Structures are given as C-alpha cells and as structure tokens.
Amino acid sequence: MNWSQLFTSSIGKKIIVAVTGLFLISFLVVHVGVNSCVFKDLFVPDDNGDMFNRAADFMARTVVIRIMEYVLFAGFFIHIIQALAIEFENRSKRKIGYEVKMGNRGSKWYSRSMGLLGTILLLFLIIHWSHFWVPSRFTHAGLNVVPLSNWRASHDMFHLMKETFSHWWVVILYLAGCFSLAWHLMHGFQSAFRTLGLHNKRYLRLDKEKVFEAEEGVEKALHREKCERALYEAGDAYGK
C-alpha cells in the first residue's frame, strides 16, 4: 500500500483513523492527569488552586508541549476528516437499510452511532476550547495573574475553571460531552487495535463464541426449512 492509497482506500482510511484515535487517547490520558490536579483543593483548602495553576503554567511554558499542540490539532483534523469519509462511504454503498433490523443482536448502538457521537464530541471540543484554551493562549479574558508556590507568576486558570462551572448549563453540557466520549471510546478503542491487527485473546474467544452461536442459529434455521419443505412435499405427494 502506497501513501496515496493510505489516505484514499477504505483500509487505509481505517488505519489512519485507528492510529490518530490512539494518539488522541494518549493525549486524553495526559489531559485527565493534569486536570486531576484541581482536586487537591478539596483535600488541602490552603492550596487555593496552586497545584492546578502550576500544572497549567508548565503546560503553557514548555516548548515541547506547545509544539505538540499543533500536532494534536493535526491529529484531530485528520481523525475527523477520515472518519467522516468512512461514514459517508458506508452510507453511499448501502442507501437502503436491511429489511430485518438486528438491533443490539448484531452490534451495540454506540458502534452504529460513531458518526453521531463524533459530531457531538466535535461541538463539545469547540466549546471547551473557547472556555479554556483560547483565553489561556490568546485573549486572557477573565484571567488574573497570581503568584505560585514555585516563585513564578501565572494566569489563574483555577479561578476561570470555578467561574465556568458555576453555571448549571455548562455542567450539563460537559457531562453530556463526557458520556459521548465514553461511548465513543467503548467502540473506538478496541476497534483501533483490531484494525491494526492487535487482538486480545479474551475478546477473540468471545467473538468466536458469538460466531459459533450465529452459525448454530443458521444451521437450525436451514434444518427447520428442510423439514418444512419435506413435509410440504410429502403432503403434496399424498394429495396426488
């Protein structure tokens, strides 16, 4: 597979989505780790968000992190474009749906709704960036400069966080975004490894059991059809 096929073929698009998806998951782990510093204020009231502001200041001042921000945006862009291309391609190939709806017997609802969940996540990300990333990097709106315990001064991201989440609708919006992310990852994480040929024996065993159950169901259906046909032919012959 050459480079052009990597971005244009169906398999190539899935590989790109899998690789960028795993990269974005690695960013998510770091992002959650940094944001978890905000909870120190619950256990050490005198902290006043110092640990969280120090972590935010480190992320803002480190050159490698700032460079990785552009790589991250490129990863988001490629992941979204290729995922949408796969979604549209699948829909164009099957304009008429199945006559019999399998529902959750064939696949989970979130695996069939990756396009919808991804769109919700994109809208959530735009709002999230406008709340925190844009003010911290460009406008500095609503940010005061506070001294830190490491003898530096930084923007008070902790106060911005508290002010942002003081609105009930923002909390509901972020909860909806987190649930969408969880469902998106429930299918996307394991699907990425399967696309790259990396399988877990436990999951493979479960998949084989499902395949065996499906094959057994098909065999029973065929056997029942043969019996019904034999009875029909026997009755037809008796009538003659």
Give the SS3 label for residue 2.
Answer: coil
240 belongs to a structural domain: yes
Q: Each residue of 95-154: pLDDT tens digit?
A: 565 555 555 555 677 777 888 888 899 999 999 999 999 999 888 888 899 999 989 999
Which parts of the chain register pLDDT below 70? 1-7, 94-107, 199-240
DSSP string covering 176-221: HHHHHHHHHHHHHHHHHHHHTT---HHHHHHHHHHHHHHHHHHHHH
77 belongs to a structural domain: yes
192 belongs to a structural domain: yes
Does one domain contain both 181 and 220? no
Q: Each residue of 113-129: pLDDT tens digit?
A: 888 888 899 999 999 99
Does one domain contain both 238 and 186? no
Q: How far apart are CA 144 and CA 150, in angstroms?
A: 17
Q: Which two tokens stand for residue 19?
A: 């690789």
How many separate domains does the chain show? 2
Q: What is the DSSP letter of 49?
A: T
Does one domain contain both 45 and 82? yes
Q: Which two tokens stand for residue 218?
A: 């098909």
pLDDT at residue 99, rounded to an integer: 52
pLDDT at residue 167, rounded to an integer: 94
Q: How far apart are CA 63 and CA 176, in angstroms?
A: 33
Give the SS3 label for residue 154.
Answer: strand
pLDDT at residue 195, rounded to an integer: 86
Residue among 158, 140, 163 at smallest CA distance from 148 = 158
Q: Which helix (H) or strand (E) holds 120?
A: helix 114-128
Q: How far apart are CA 221 and CA 195, in angstroms?
A: 32
Does one domain contain both 73 and 119? yes
Q: Which two tokens stand for residue 12?
A: 């190539």
pLDDT at residue 67, rounded to an integer: 93
pLDDT at residue 205, rounded to an integer: 54
Does one domain contain both 26 and 85? yes
Q: Which domain holds residue 172?
A: 3-94+107-198
Q: How far apart are CA 62 and CA 194, in angstroms?
A: 35
pLDDT at residue 211, rounded to an integer: 47
Q: If you count them, how many residues does the chain have?
A: 240
Does one domain contain both 120 and 19? yes
Does one domain contain both 161 and 209? no
Q: How far apart are CA 164 and CA 94, in angstroms?
A: 44
pLDDT at residue 11, rounded to an integer: 84
